[in-house]
Amino acid sequence: MERRMEKKRSRVVWKFDGTEKSLDQWIVNCDCDYGHGYSTAKLELSSNGTGIFHGVLDTTIPKNGQTTASGYCNITSTPKLKSFKRIAPNNWLRYNELVLRVRGDGRCYLINLLCDKRFDVTRLHAHNYLMYTRGGPHWQVVRIPFSKFVFTNKAQVHEIQFPIVPVNVSNLGITIADKISGPFRLEIDHISICFNPTIFEASAYEMYKVYRG
């Protein structure tokens, strides 16, 4: 009952406010940066000061004898640093929901939450959620409970699911890799975290042990 009586609270984590500083909080990359494709991507400010993640996704596979799949563009937030360039993970312990105010193009984007490398030395683990956007001129508010994120390893859904540890989140990423060649455009106003008193579950997925005997 105590939790039901708590009020909803929120905090803006990333906000595009028309300044270059708001762009500097993000790193843009795509397959062409690594010689694995021909996609292009940019993150720029709109005339209204919002952020626009846009470019062209190209699924053409380079004939290099190594690449077997292509078509990837991404923006990832830069981590907060402490002394000696140590990562200071975000402490989202008092929150249970991610909220994005975006204006999309009808394509699907993958929201990625990455853990502090002290807890994932391989940097291959992430929690992902597939965000569907509307086309057209209207903004949409996307609310994603932490419990809905899927635990993945090397971009593959892990057979054993683990919930997000809110004190270990170091980066947030937005990826487009929907295997459809063509232009994309995602306008972002802000990304917030929220405590929603109506959410009780730690994970929306089965948390069973896999028998390997």
Q: Residue-wise pLDDT tens for the chain (213 aa)?
A: 444 546 678 999 999 999 999 999 999 999 999 989 999 999 999 999 999 999 999 999 998 888 888 999 999 999 888 777 777 888 899 999 999 999 999 999 999 998 866 555 445 688 999 999 998 889 999 999 999 999 887 767 777 788 888 888 989 999 999 999 999 999 999 999 999 999 988 888 876 666 655
Rounded-to-integer distance, Cα 101 and Cα 140, Å: 6
Instruction: Tell me how long the chain is.
Output: 213
Rounded-to-integer distance, Cα 141 and Cα 194, Å: 13
Per-residue confidence (pLDDT) for residue 212, from 0 to 100: 59
Instruction: Report the candidate in 73, 153, 65, 154 with the shortest Cα–Cα distance to residue 108.
Output: 73
Cα 156 from chain centre:
15
State the CB neighbour count (10 A cutoff) for residue 51.
26
Q: Which residue shows structure tokens 């494709």?
A: 37
Q: What is the token pair recorded at 207?
A: 């948390």
pTM of this structure: 0.88
Q: What is the token pair recorded at 12?
A: 């803006």
CA angle 211, 117, 97 (to 5 degrees): 80
Per-residue confidence (pLDDT) for residue 87, from 0 to 100: 79
Q: Give the helix/strand (H/E) hosting 131.
A: strand 125-132
Per-residue confidence (pLDDT) for residue 82, from 0 to 100: 79
Decide if 76 contacts 171 (C-beta within 8 A): yes
Per-residue confidence (pLDDT) for residue 1, from 0 to 100: 40
The 3-state DSSP class for residue 23 equals helix
Per-residue confidence (pLDDT) for residue 117, from 0 to 100: 61
Residue 26: is it exposed, middle or buried by C-beta count within 10 angstroms (0-12/13-18/19+)? buried
Rounded-to-integer distance, Cα 130 and Cα 176, Å: 10
Q: Give me the half-sphere count of Cα atoms (radius 13 Å) on the Cβ side of residue 202.
A: 9
Per-residue confidence (pLDDT) for residue 213, from 0 to 100: 57
Per-residue confidence (pLDDT) for residue 2, from 0 to 100: 44
